[in-house]
Amino acid sequence: MTGKSMIAMALFLTVSLSGLVLSLSHSEIPSAAAQSSISHSERPVIDQLNQQFRQHYSERELEPARLANSLTVARRLSLGLMGTIPSLEDVRTLESLPEEERIAWWLEQVLQDRRSADYLAERFARSFVGTEDGPFLVYRRRRFVTWLSDQLHANQPYDQIVCSLISDTGLWTDSPAVNFITVTNDVNDDDQPDAERLAARTTRAFLGVRLDCVQCHDDNLDGKWVQQDFHQLAAFFCEAESSLLGIRDKENAEYRYKYLHATDEQLVEPAVPFGADLLDQVRQSQPGNRRQLLAKWVTHQDNQPFARLMVNRIWALLFGRPLVEPIDSVPLNGPFPPGLELLAADFAQHGYDVRRLIRVIALSDVFQRDSQADNASELMEEQWALFPLSRLRPEQVSGSVVQASSLKTIDAESHILVKLIRAGEKNEFIKRYGDAGEDEYTNRPGTIPQRLLMMNGKLVQERTKDDLLFNASTRIARLSKNNQTCVEAAFLTTLTRRPSADELAYFMNRLETSDQSRSQVLEDLFWVLLNSTEFSWNH
C-alpha cells in the first residue's frame, strides 16, 4: 500500500470510528424547528378514528392491547414507509427526545426522506403497471417509478397523479405517466394500447372494483355486474393510440365487441358502471376526450370508491394487511369496517393529501397498539384490538439486513458506492428469496429455501463477518467500552429494542466466558438476531 493510500485509509477509519463513537452514545437533541406535532386540523379526525375503534372494541367486548413503546412504533413506520428498519444512529437520535414527541417527530422525518417516496412509488407501481418489464422500446418501468417517486416526494395530490396516469399524452420517456398506457401494448398483435386491459387495471388499481370478472360473461353469482358494464368502461380507452410521437388520442375511434352468445360485433358507447350522475357533471363542467372524462370521473371528490381504495392501500402498507380484503375489492355500499369511511371522507376533503392520510393513521391509537396482550387472541388481531403480525416482504428483509450491518443511516445522502452495493445485494437477495409480485398482501407461510437463504446465504454471511470497515458487529465489538454496551447496541441495531434482562445476562456471560474473541462472539450474536423470527416479522 502506498503512503497516500495509507493516509487515505487512516482518514477513512478516523471519520468512520468517530461516527461510531457518536452512534454508540446518545446523539444531540434535534432542534425544536425539526420536531413535529399533530396539526390542529388532524387532531379531530384522529380523535374520531380512535373513538370509532373504541366503540368497535366495546361492541365486541374486547379489551384492546396497551400502546406499544416508541421504538416499536418507529420500526413499524420505517418498515411500512421505507422498507427498512431504523439505524442505530436513528435510534440514538430518537432516544434524545422526550418520549411523547418521538413518534410524531420520527414520522415527519420518514415522510420527508427520499427513501419513503422511492419505496411507496415501487409499491404503488405494482398495482398500477405490474412488475413485469413490459413491451420493448415503448415501456420504461424504471422511468415510470422514478416519476411516481418524484410526485410523491413533492406531495402532489393523489387525484392529480391518477389523472395523469389515465389521460396523459406524449412519449413514454418524456411523459412517464403514459407508461400506464403503453404497458398494455404487447397484448395485441397491432402493438397498440389494449382497452380491455386498461379498463381492468383502472377499476382494480383506482376504484377497488374487480370489474374484469365480467369481461367475458355476466356475473351469475348474484352479482350486480354484467359484461356490458366492463366493455362500456373499456370504450373510454379506445381512442388511445401509440405512435412514433408517443401516446395520443385518435378522434372518432370506435370500440366494438362481440358479446357472449351474440352473433355480431356491436358498437359500444362509453359509460361508467356506477356514478353516472358524476360523469354527467364532469361532461358539463370539464369537457374533454374520452380518457380525460374518465380520469375526472374516477378522481371526482364524490366518487367515494376512489378515496376508499387509497385508504385501504395506505392501511395495508402500515399494518401489513388491508382493512378490507382482498385489497382491490372494496364493496361499493358496505358494510365497511371502522375508520374506512371517516378516513376516505377526510382524504377527499383535504385534497387527496397522501402525507396527511399517512399521518392520521400512524398517529392513531389503533396503529400504535402493542402486538402482545395477556388476553391475545386471533379475534383481537382480526378486529384490530392489537397490532397484527405480518411477515416482512423480501425487500423489507434485505433492506433491514443491510441497514442492520451499518451503524449509520443508509439513505439518499450516503456515498454512491454504499448505495450501489446496497442495490446490488438487495436485487440478488429478492431474486433468490422470491418476490410476491402484485399479490403482496396474501398471507403466505415462509419457505424452507427462504430460511436457508437467511441462514447460509451470501447477504447475511457478508454482513455479519469480521469486517471493521463495513460491518456493525465488528465495529461494535472493537469500540464498545464494555460487554453490556456491546449486547445493547447489537439488539438496538438489529431488533430496534434493548435486550431483556435474561437476554442481556445470557449474552454477557457468553462474552465473558467464550474462548472466542469479542468480534467472533458479536458476529455470532448478529447472525442469531438476523435469523430470529422477530427480525423477519412486523409486530
pLDDT, tens only, 60-113: 999 999 999 999 999 999 999 999 999 999 999 999 999 999 999 999 999 999
Q: Where in the chain is CATH 1.10.3130? A: 391-539
Q: Is 328 within 8 Å of 210 (Cβ atoms)?
A: yes
11-20, 125-134, 398-407, 410-419: least confident range: 11-20
Q: What is the pLDDT at residue 5?
A: 39
- pLDDT of residue 115 exceeding 80, the answer is yes
Residue 8: phi and psi, rounded to 5, are -60, -45
User: Hey, what's the torsion of the CAs at 57, 58, 63, 68, to 10 degrees?
Assistant: 50
- pLDDT of residue 427 exceeding 50, the answer is yes
User: Hey, what's the torsion of the CAs at 13, 16, 17, 22, to 10 degrees?
Assistant: 160
- pLDDT of residue 15 exceeding 60, the answer is no
Q: Is 495 within 8 Å of 516 (Cβ atoms)?
A: no
Q: Residues 259-270: what's their mean pLDDT?
A: 89
Q: What is the pLDDT at residue 440?
A: 66
Over residues 228-262, the pLDDT tens digits come to 899 999 999 999 999 989 999 998 899 999 888 88
- Please tell me whether the peptide bond between 44 and the residue prior to it is cis, using omega within 30 degrees of 0: no
- pLDDT of residue 137 exceeding 90, the answer is no
Q: What is the pLDDT at residue 187?
A: 62
- pLDDT of residue 376 exceeding 60, the answer is yes
Q: For the domain 391-539, what is the CATH code? A: 1.10.3130
Q: Residues 434-453: what's their mean pLDDT?
A: 72
| pLDDT band at 352; cut points 50, 70, 90 | very high
User: Hey, what's the torsion of the CAs at 54, 60, 61, 63, to 10 degrees?
Assistant: -50
Q: What is the pLDDT at residue 372?
A: 94
Q: Provide the mean pLDDT of the chain.
A: 88
Residue 369: phi and psi, rounded to 5, are -65, 150
Q: What is the pLDDT at residue 359?
A: 98
Over residues 160-188, the pLDDT tens digits come to 999 999 999 999 999 999 999 999 997 66
- pLDDT of residue 37 exceeding 80, the answer is no
| pLDDT band at 12; cut points 50, 70, 90 | very low
Angle, CA 419 vertex, CA 459 and CA 123 arms, to 5°: 80
- Percent of the chain residues topping a pLDDT of 90: 67
Inter-CA distances, 225 with 211, 218, 229, Å: 7, 7, 6
- pLDDT of residue 476 exceeding 70, the answer is yes
- Could you tell me if residue 129 is left (phi over 0), alpha (psi between -120 and 50 degrees) or otherwise beta? alpha
Class of residue 508 by CB neighbours under 10 A (exposed 0-12, middle 13-18, buried 19+): middle
- Percent of the chain residues topping a pLDDT of 70: 88
Three-state DSSP class for 233? Answer: helix
Residue with cell 419457505: 447
Q: Residues 264-285: what's their mean pLDDT?
A: 93
| pLDDT band at 21; cut points 50, 70, 90 | very low
| pLDDT band at 368; cut points 50, 70, 90 | very high
